[in-house]
Each structure stands twice: as structure tokens, then as C-alpha cells.
Amino acid sequence: MFRKILIANRGEIACRVIATARRMGIATVAVYSDADAASKHVAMADGAVRIGAAAVAESYLKGDAIIAAALRTGAEAIHSGYGFLSENPGFVEAVQAAGLGFIGPPASAIRAMGLKDAAKALMIKAGVPVVPGYHGESQDPAHLAAEAAAIGYPVLIKARAGGGGKGMRLVTDPGDFAQALESAQREARSSFGDPACLVEKYITQPRHIEIQVFGDTQGHVVHLFERDCSLQRRHQKVIEEAPAPGMPAEVRAAMGKAAVEAARAIGYQGAGTVEFIVDGSGPLRPDGFWFMEMNTRLQVEHPVSEAITGLDFVELQLRIAAGEPLPFRQQDLRIDGWAFEARIYAEDVEKGFLPATGTLEHLSFPEGVEFRRGAVRIDSGVRQGDEISPWYDPMIAKVVVHGPDRTAARNLLSTTLEHCRIAGSTTNLEFLAALSRHDGFRAGDVDTGLIARDLDQLIAAAPLPAAAPALAALAALNLLDPPQAADPWDRLTGWRGWSAAESFVALDHKDGPLALRVIHLDPRQFHVTGAGYDTTLTLLDHRDGALRFSCDGLQSTAHFVATPDRISLFLSGRKHDFTRIDPLLAGEHDAAGGDTILAPMPGLVAALRTSAGARVTKGDALIFIEAMKMEHILTAPRDGIVAEVLVAEGDQVSDGTVLVRMEAEDG
């Protein structure tokens, strides 16, 4: 077994590998960019080496710098995690040429599956069913458009390299094909260095089911059952589960056999995942699944398979890379219970899942909790106080739950998500909680279109509880802190010697501004009015971060995080953000008005499709912004004429930057 390994990655997966290596007594070396110098994975490792600037191309994609770091620190092997160089056969060959071990499959296997078109041809030869489509070499837009027409719409444009939903576009209208192809190619070039795409028939009610496989150096290959990854937004997975709901034994056997044959066809070693598109229009059947691609690495969602098998997949990777045989055969493996994984991202769901940034002012998870044979596991690469950087994937954590059956595990998932508390960045946490309560999801009736179909329902905001603005007003006045922790002079806020004291607070909420009046009935009781609210609130207890209170006679518990600018209140499983308003500025309006297009997040201007003087129609694509390795399209807010374009292709812009000004409608 190895004595020391280097992890050529960052964030959650680097922390995950380090944890297993530490348990096995293996020393670890981390690598980091300038943006990650103070990150969690660097702090966890036994040693760390700087490899470059924040940009991925200048750090985590620099194979030579990573290999040099391994040699310099005496590491014997490299684990590449997922993403970055994990599926780069040239990197694997360079690692081995330097006399180091690679904890993953051989370069030949990665190369065989690295290009989706070649992989599908190989699978056809191996007798594995594949989705109909064009997998040829031609990248001529006219030729690809003709192939799409021959296949029949809707079609899916897919980058032939990489994965993670990048370089993927669904096209339902032939008139949109050219723009979608251009965008997919540009994103594929940015993410994988290869702009080539293929075109496939889009299955109208598909399920995404994948099979986990492992192979050793002695030629043994097994599958460790399936995961259902159908809950996706923008072709990226949101909640995964194992096993798949409604999976008959004969279909599991057929899919497992196909996955093992696929792995054997390329001499696979280590952890891998064979992904299938499955017809979800009715019951699953043995002839209703088709090969999509193989991920020649550990998957983000591997913990759900670990939960139902009781195995540590990183440990298996390490042992296989060290030459040990698989410690089991197919007949030894069993499914135990049910597991879910929900991915918490810094992103704005209401703005189309745009990535978000910010400092994690508060981060709290119910980690390690056990409920009636159910268990909660949190995999995260960040800590409280860390910054969500625009340079990398905005994942905050993976919430993994395991229970004796699907109902118990799903209930535990909902409960756990409601008890996660994150402040300082916009997240998808409430969206995940709503998704876990969705009727179709509860019933196991899932497909890849569920989120898009029911998005309005999933993001519908619940009415603001009466207690929330009252608590926010008290927090703004420093009246929610425990008495022993507060500055005693703050307790004199609004004090009067002859009548009930009162204070006035101006707050902003996403539903609009709030002007509130707080009447101090006694040191722990307040009457709050204004903005349509009229409530009496009594503070009962405040310990261990939990505030117990009574609102109009109804007791409840809340948590809050207050900063000089913002108050985040966690109440009844939801977060409510309030911004403090300076009364002197409360009447000012945004000078930008409604005739501008602003950058919705920090990013790179990847392409411009307009110029000053151009006449545009509402919805026209004007600017393509690349952020966190995904491309986002900014469209015209209305019909009109472009007055000014304030950026150029290649510019790096910050959140809120004015990109385009439209001529005033009355001009």
C-alpha cells in the first residue's frame, strides 16, 4: 500500500480522499491555486504545494506542475478526483512516465471512453445498446443540422469530451439549432479544450440511471448496482438516489451485465460509472435502456452507492491501484436500504440557477446524526468564513442520507435539508427541500424533465411569517442577543423613563421594503407594527444559537445571523434575508433604471451578439457570460435599440456591472 499520495484536485472531493487516506494511515499532499491558499482541503492535508494562479488553466490543469509537486514531496501516487485532469489520458501517461502510480483506470481505458462518438462505436461492437444519433467526425454546422433533421426533433447536442452537463443543449426547434450548436461548442472548448459535438435523439420522458462498476488489475469486474440521477436542472444532477425506484430485478441484471461488458471491453480498472438513458414513459423494461457514456473516474454521487453497499469506494480505488484484487465477487454484493444525495450549491434558483458568490458567514449542518437506523453524512469542501469563488464549481456540500427504505430515507432527507443553515450566499437549499417534498418525487415517479415541468411550483415562495419581520427588526436593534453577550449600553435602545420606549427600523426584503415600529413593552417583550404586520413577540430563551420565542401566543424556535449589512433568519425550515436600509438613503432608486443589462454574477464575456445602434427584439441573445465553467445567455429585456455596449469579448466583469444600455423607450 502507498505511504503517501498527492490529490490533484480541490474542494469536496479532495477532502473526501484525504479523509479515507488518513483512516488508512496514508499521508496526503494537497495542491492549491492562489484562490485556494487558505481552503479546507489544504488545511486537512499533511502537506500542500502551490501550483499556480486562480484560473483553472494556470493551476489545476497544469499536469506538469502537479507531477513536479508529487515528486518534490515524495508522494508515490496521484489521485485526481473528478473533473480537471481526472479523465485526461495524457496526464495519466505523464504520471506513470515520472515513475508515479495513478489511482484510477489505465490511459487506454480513459482514451477509449473519452470521446463520446468513439465510445458509442465501441459499445455497439460490444453489443451494448446505444441511443440513435450522429457520432461522426464532421463538425460542419450545415451537416450537423441535416443530421439533426434526419434524426428528428427534439435532439440533444452534446460535447463529445467531458461531462457534467457542460457543452450540452436541448433543441426542440430547427431554427434554434445553429445558435445552440455554437454555444455548446464554445462551452466545450472552454471546459475540455475540444469543441467537437455529437447529436442524439432526445428521449422525451427519459430517466438517467447509471451503474457503478469496479475492476481490478487481475481482470475481475463487478457492478455495485444502480443510481437514479434523473432529477436534473440544465443537464446537471441535483438529487441522486440508490437504488433506482421501480427497478425490477431483471432490468437491474440486464443493465448491470451491460455495464460490466462495457468495462471489460476496455480493460477497465478502478472505479467507473456506465451511464444509461432509460425510457421512463412506463415501467422499466430490459429493452428500454441505452448507453450514453462512461465516466472513467469516481462520480460526485458515489456516496449513495457506498451507503447501500457499506463500502468505501476511495479505499477500493487505493487498494486496486496498489495491485490488490477486489475483495468480493458479484454474488457477494447486496443492497442494504436506501440512500439519497442532495447537492447544495451557491446559486440563485429564481434567476435560472445562476451561480452565486459570497462569504459563508454561517454554515451549519446536522452532520453525523442518526435517526432510527438512518444516518446523515455531509461531504463538504468549505467551512464557515470561506468565500465562494467565481473561479470554480459553486458546490457547498453534499447531503447524504441512508435509511432502511425509500420512505424513511426521503423523510430523513427532507428533515436534514430543513436543518441546514447557510448565510452569506444565495443557495438552492430551499429548492432542494421543496423538491424532496414534491409529490412525484415522493412517489418515485421521476424523470429528467420533472424539475423543468414543475419549476414554478418548486420555487414558489411561501408567505413571510408574521414573526420573521418582527425578529429581523429586533435583530437590527441588537435585541435578540443573549443578555450576557450583548453590550449593556445596547439594552438602552429606545429607553424612556415616562412611557413605553419605541424604535423605528427600515429593512429591505425580496418582497419589498419594510418600515417597522418596535414598541418596547418590557426587556423581553415587544409590539411590532408596520408594513401590514401587527404582532406581539416575547423572547423566552436563547442558548446554543437557538432563540425560543412566542409570537402572538405561539411558541417557536429561530436562528439568526446578523452582519452590519444583512440579517439572515432561519425559521420553520426556511431562510429569510433582510437588508438594513440607511434611512437617509431609503428614498433613492437604482440609477441604472430598466434600460440596462447587468452582469448577474462575476464572469467572462465569452461572446457578443449585438452592437450600438442594433435593433433587438425582447428575448434576443445579446451576450454570453461564462462563469464557473458554464455559459449563461443574457437576452434583450424588451424590443428596442441598443444605445451602448460597454464591454468587449474577453472582458472579466463583476456582479452588477452594466454591460449594455438600451435607448430610452420614449427616445
Point out the residues that are catalytic: 297
Residue 143: which region, alpha, beta or left (left: phi > 0; alpha: psi -120 to 50)?
alpha
C-alpha to C-alpha distances, 480 to 470, 485, 496, 539, 542, nearest whole angstrom = 11, 10, 20, 8, 8
Place of cell 437590527: 476
Cα 242 to Cα 471: distance, rounded to the nearest angstrom: 41
Residue 510: which region, alpha, beta or left (left: phi > 0; alpha: psi -120 to 50)?
alpha
Beta carbons within 8 Å of 453's beta carbon, 6+ residues apart: none
Q: Which of 535, 541, 553 is nearest to 473 (CA)?
A: 535
Backbone angles phi, psi at 575, to 5 degrees: -110, 135
Amino acid symbol at 259: A
- Determine the length of the chain: 667
Beta carbons within 8 Å of 613's beta carbon, 6+ residues apart: 641, 642
Query: Per-residue b/e over 517-544, b at no fewer than 16 CB within 10 Å?
Result: bbbbeeebebbbbbbebebbbbbeebee
Cα 310 to Cα 333: distance, rounded to the nearest angstrom: 10
Cα 66 to Cα 647: distance, rounded to the nearest angstrom: 35
- DSSP string computed for 469-490: HHHHHHHHTT-SS-TTTS-GGG
